[in-house]
C-alpha cells in the first residue's frame, strides 16, 4: 500500500492526496496562508522514475506568481516536509526517495486542436535544420587530406 504523508492512497490519487496533505500540514501564519493560496490554485502532478525509483512531485504555479511568492512556497514546503513525522512517500512500509519541483513551464503542444502558436512540427525543427546547413560553419568531421 502507498502512504503519502501518512495517508493511504492508490497510485492514481497520489498527486491529489499529496496536495491535500500539504495544505493540511501547512500550519498557521501569513506565509502559510500564502502557501495555501498558491498551492490551492496550482496543478500538482506526480511522476515515478522506475529506473532510479525516485518520486517527483511537480507544483505547476500560475504565470503571475512572483519570485518572492515562489520563495515563500519553497520555504513552507521545506518546513512541512522536514517537520512531519510521516515520510513524504512510503510504499509497503519502505520510505522512498522523492523530490519536489516548483515550475511554471508548460510543454508546447505540437499537434492537435490546442496546438501552441508557432509550434507546428516543422517550425520546431526549422532552427535545427538551418543551423546544420548554415554557411560559415566548419564541419569538424571534414578532412581535406584527400583533396
Name the most confidently modeled range: 30-44, 108-122, 123-137.
30-44
pLDDT top residue among 19 and 110: 19
How far apart CA 111 and CA 1 sit, in angstroms, is 38
Q: Strand order in 89-91's β-sheet?
A: 7-9, 2-4, 89-91, 94-95
pLDDT at 43: 93
Query: Nearest Cα to 1, choosing from 17, 21, 25, 23?
Result: 17
pTM above 0.75, yes or no: no
CB contact set of 103 (below 8 Å; sequence gap of 6+): 58, 59, 60, 61
Cα–Cα distance, 85 to 96 (Å, whole number) = 14
Quote the CA–CA distance of 13 and 56 in Å, as a whole number: 14
Cβ 4 vs Cβ 14: under 8 Å: yes
Q: H or E segment at 99?
A: strand 97-103
Predicted confidence band at 107 (pLDDT cuts at 50, 70, 90)? confident
Domains of the chain (ranges, CATH numbers): 2-103 (3.30.70), 107-138 (no CATH)
**pLDDT tens-digit map of 4-46:** 999 999 999 999 999 999 999 998 999 999 999 999 999 999 9
Q: What was the pLDDT predicted at 81? A: 92
The residue with greater pLDDT, 138 or 103, is 103
Amino acid at each position: 500500500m502507498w502512504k503519502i504523508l501518512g495517508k493511504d492512497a492508490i497510485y492514481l490519487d497520489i498527486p491529489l492526496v499529496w496536495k491535500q496533505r500539504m495544505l493540511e500540514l501547512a500550519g498557521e501564519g501569513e506565509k502559510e496562508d500564502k502557501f495555501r493560496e498558491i498551492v490551492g490554485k496550482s496543478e500538482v502532478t506526480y511522476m515515478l522514475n522506475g529506473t532510479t525509483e525516485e518520486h517527483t512531485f511537480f507544483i505547476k504555479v500560475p504565470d503571475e506568481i512572483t519570485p518572492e511568492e515562489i520563495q515563500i512556497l519553497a520555504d513552507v514546503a521545506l518546513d512541512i516536509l522536514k517537520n512531519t513525522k510521516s515520510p513524504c512517500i512510503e510504499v509497503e512500509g519502505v520510505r522512498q526517495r522523492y523530490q519536489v519541483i516548483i515550475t511554471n513551464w508548460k510543454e508546447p503542444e505540437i499537434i492537435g486542436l490546442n496546438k501552441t502558436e508557432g509550434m507546428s512540427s516543422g517550425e520546431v525543427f526549422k532552427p535545427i535544420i538551418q543551423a546544420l546547413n548554415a554557411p560559415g560553419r566548419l564541419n569538424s568531421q571534414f578532412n581535406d587530406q584527400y583533396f
